[in-house]
Amino acid sequence: MAKVTIDDIMIEVPDGITILEAARMIGGHVVPPTMCYYSSLETSGGYCRTCIVKVEKGSEKDPRPMPKPVASCRTTVQDGMVVRNATSPEIQKARKGIVEFLLINHPLDCPVCDQAGECFLQDLSFEHGDEFSRFDFKKRTFDLIDIGDYIKLHMTRCIMCYRCVKVADQLTEERLHGVLNRGDASEIGTYIQQAVDNDFSGNMIDACPVGALTDRTFRFKSRVWFTKPMYAHRDCDKCCGKVTLWYQGEEVLRVTGRKNEFGEIEEFICNTCRFDKKHTQDWVIEGPAKISRHSVIVQNHNELALPKDEVQILPDLPGSTSHKKIES
Ligand code: SF4
Ligand code: FES
C-alpha cells in the first residue's frame, strides 16, 4: 500500500495505481478532469493532458518535486507522494491553456451538435477554460462521413483522444478505422471509407467525449435535456443487456450504455440492444437513471436528480460542482 496526499487529503491506496485512480478514490474536486482516459479501455490516456497535476513531493524515498506537471492518468503513485490539483493555481492556469489547445480546431457549433448537454469538452471549457482564444487562424474542416449505417463522423469536432480506436481494438473483432497521419494533420479515418460494421461498434459513440461520432438513428431528434433517461435491462446473448433508454413521451429515442459518475461506460452494450430494441416492450424498466445534479440533463426532471447529500458544492471553485461516488 502507498500513502498519497492529494490536495491536502491523505489516502492509502494499492501500489501501482495511478494518481488519477487515487484521486477518484477520494472523489469530489480532487479528481482531475479527463478527456482521453477511459477506465474500461486498456492503454487509454496520455493523449490530451487535461488530467495534469503537480507532484510537489515524489515519494518518501525521493522527496524531490517533479519538474513539470504530469499526466495523472499515466503516472503511478509512490509511497509519500504529495500531489496538487484543484489547490494549485499553476495547474489551473496550465489547464486553461490545454482547453485552449483542444478548442483551436473544434467548432463552436454546440447549438446544432447532438452531443450538447453531455459533451465533455463543453463541460471542460465551462469549468476550466478561458473566455478568449489566441488562435486567429482558420479552423480545419472536413466533410461529414457516414461510418456504416449507424455512425456519422464529424471529424471537424474530433479532439484525437483515441477512445474510439481503443473501443474498436478491444471490443470488436475487426478494426476498420484508426488515426491517419501525424501531428496537426492527424484524423480519424476508415481507410477506404469502409463501414465500421460489427456488433460493438456503437460503443464508440458513447466513448467519444465530443460530438465527433454521433448516432445516426438519434441525430437531430431532440436535445438531450428534453429526454428522460431510464435504466432498463433485457436478456441478451451478446452483451450485459443493461442500458439507459432515453424517452421523449412514450417513444424511446435512443439507447446507450450506462455511464458511471465519471461519464464512462463500465459495461459495453451490443448494437442489437442499442439500435434494434427501441420499444418499451423489449425491456424490463428499472426506474429513472442516476444523473448528476450538475448535468443539464436533469433540467425539468427533478425526480432524476441525485439526493442532496450525494452532491457536493465546492466553496473553493466558484460555480463548480461535483458529486461524490455513488453506488449504482
Ligand atoms: S472521433 Fe471522438 S472518440 Fe474518436 S478520437 Fe475523435 S474525439 Fe476521440
Ligand atoms: S486524461 Fe490523462 S492525458 Fe488525457
70 alpha carbon – ligand 2 mean position (Å) = 10
Give the atom of ligand 2 at the shortest distance from the alpha carbon of 46: 3
282 DSSP 8-state letter: G
What pLDDT is stored for residue 218 in this prediction?
95
Confirm or reject: Cβ of 71 under 6 Å from ligand 2. yes
* CA atoms of 313 and 308, how far apart (whole Å): 10
Amino acid sitting at position 128? H
- Band of the pLDDT at 317, cuts 50, 70, 90? very low
Instruction: Enter the CATH code of domain 110-215.
Output: 3.30.70.20
pLDDT (0 to 100) of residue 51: 97
User: At 321, is the pLDDT very low, low, confident or very high (cuts 50, 70, 90)?
Assistant: very low
Arithmetic mean of pLDDT, 287-312: 67
Q: Is the CB of 171 under 6 A from ligand 2?
A: no
Please, what's the b/e burial string for 117-153 (b: 16 or more CB within 10 A of its CB; e: otherwise)? Answer: bbbbbbbbbebbbeeeeeeeeeeeebeeeebbebbbb
Say what the pTM is: 0.84
Residue 298's pLDDT is 77
Per-residue pLDDT, 159: 94
| Mean pLDDT value across residues 116-124 | 94
Top mean pLDDT of 101-105, 195-199, 311-315 is at: 101-105
The mean pLDDT value for 150-177 works out to 86
Pick from 17-26, 28-37, 164-173, 260-269: least confident = 164-173
Q: Whose CA is nearest to atom 3 of ligand 1?
A: 208
* List of residues 6+ apart from 156 with CB closer than 8 A: 105, 106, 107, 139, 140, 141, 142, 212
Q: Are 199 and 268 in contact (CB under 8 A)?
A: no
Task: Give residue 84 CA to ligand 1 midpoint distance, Å.
Answer: 29
303 alpha carbon, distance to own chain's centre: 24
Residue 21 burial (CB count, 10 A): 18
The CATH number of the structural domain formed by 7-101 is: 3.10.20.740
- For the Cβ of 208 lying below 6 angstroms from any atom of ligand 1, the answer is yes
Residue 210 beta carbon below 6 angstroms from any ligand 1 atom: yes
**CA separation for the pair 309, 305 (Å, rounded):** 11
Q: Is 41 in the pocket of ligand 1 (CB under 6 A)?
A: no
- Please give the share of the chain, as a percent, with pLDDT higher than 90: 67
Q: What is the pLDDT of residue 192?
A: 47
Return the pLDDT at 205.
Answer: 95
Please tell me the predicted confidence (pLDDT) of residue 296.
83
Average pLDDT over residues 253-282: 94
Compute the mean pLDDT over every residue in the chain, rounded to the nearest whole number. 87
Outline which parts of the chain fall under CATH 3.10.20.740. 7-101
Grid cell listed for 99: 482547453
The string of pLDDT tens digits covering residues 235-246 is 999 999 999 999
**Which pLDDT score is estimated for 117?**
92
| pLDDT (0 to 100) of residue 311 | 42
pLDDT of residue 295 exceeding 90, the answer is no
Which residues of the chain form CATH 3.30.70.20?
110-215
H helix or E strand, kind and range, residue 230? strand 228-233
Q: Is 114:218 a contact under the CB 8 Å cutoff?
A: yes
